[in-house]
Amino acid sequence: MTNLEELIKKSKKIELRAKGVIDDNLNGEYSTNFRGRGIDFHDLREYIHGDEVRSIDWNTTARTGEPYVKQFVEQRELNIYIAIDVSRSSNYGSILQSRHDLAALIFSIIALSASKNGDKIGLILYTNKIEHFTEPKKGKGHAMSLLREVLSHEIISNVSSPGKVLRFILGRQKRRSMIFLISDFLCPSFKQELKICSFKHDLIALQTLDPAELEFPSIGKVYLKNPEDNNSYLINTSNKTIRDTYLLKRNNWQRNLEADFKINNVDHVKFVNDENCDPSIALRTFFKNRLKSRRH
């Protein structure tokens, strides 16, 4: 089987998996979240005397110390950017599939839902630089061509920089858009870019996690390779002190990451890449909770 035949077979398999988990409920949740109003939120601007008080964005006002109001425009199709981390850590998977395969499935579910809703979908693949960019367009055919691009991309870079992709979007897209950022977020801090981008766009962080990194099981002495720098380290996983130290540092890192998302009003969804992983369940729950929180 040629590489092209393998690619087509794999893309069809993922497309079928995505279709299998997309039902009317998931499509409805997506549509209600992102298209269910006669007008769309467009941007924020500073309060001017005479503006209606009900238009004030109280979260932004509290965060900046200056009053800001929401601006709306008539509803149009939504521009959606799906940015996927394709650094070497995305190749890792301790159970059945790699993070990259999980990211491809998440992409398919969102892209198919968006195409059914008539929204435009763009793709960004990134490491510490922009590896690939496709402008947002409509249609299922376009969505599936983007999936093939995701699957065919050769993973060669060690380093990931979400900050760089957020700066890239800020430089290109002035109109408020929806940005799905898919990554394990094992990368240098990008707090500043997160703050600016979440102010101008609707940013959703989709974190891919592996059960081994969450549990760090006792399996004796093993060589662990850091996919970001390609260095290998001999670790005695039977040593409880080593495991406890790792888990403490990892949990602290996770809490700090989630705090950064929360303070910048960035929605955050976690996907644990184990044998029970069904991204559609996590996405459906997220859409429901997001809608509830924005109604209050």
Which residues are CB-contacts of 166 (< 8 A; sequence separation ≥ 6)? 179, 181, 190, 193, 194, 196, 197, 203
Residue pLDDT, tens place only, 1-27? 445 556 556 666 665 555 555 555 566
For residues 118 and 269, the model is more confident at: 269
Q: Which residues contact 57 (CB under 8 A, 6 or more apart)?
A: 44, 68, 69, 70
| Nearest of 200, 204, 232, 238 to residue 218 by alpha carbon | 238
Q: Write down the residue that tokens 């007008």 correspond to.
A: 39
pLDDT tier for residue 289 given thresholds of 50, 70 and 90: confident
* Contact between 216 and 244 (Cβ < 8 Å): no
Q: Which parts of the chain are beta strand (E)? A: 39-46, 68-74, 79-85, 120-126, 130-137, 178-183, 202-209, 221-225, 232-236, 267-272
Q: What is the pLDDT of residue 39?
A: 54
Q: What is the mean pLDDT of residues 267-290?
A: 86
In Å, how far from its chain's centre is CA 74? 27
What dotted CATH number matches 3-36+77-295? 3.40.50.410
The pTM score is 0.78
What residue ranges do the domains of the chain occupy? 3-36+77-295, 37-74
pLDDT digits (tens, 9 = 90+) for 37-76: 445 566 788 887 667 777 788 888 898 888 888 876 545 5
Q: Tell me which residue of 291, 296, 294, 295 sits closest to 25, measured CA to CA.
A: 291
Residue-averaged pLDDT of the chain: 83
How far apart (Å, rounded) are the C-alpha atoms in residues 71 and 43?
5
> Each residue of 213-268: pLDDT tens digit?
888 888 888 777 665 565 778 888 899 998 898 899 889 999 999 999 999 999 99
113 phi, psi to nearest 5 deg: -65, -45
* pLDDT for 171: 93
Single out the residue of 30, 98, 123 nearest to residue 277, CA to CA: 98
Q: Which residues, including other chains, have CB under 8 Å from residue 264's CB and lie 6 or more apart?
A: 194, 195, 198, 199, 203
In the chain, count H helices and then E strands: 10, 10
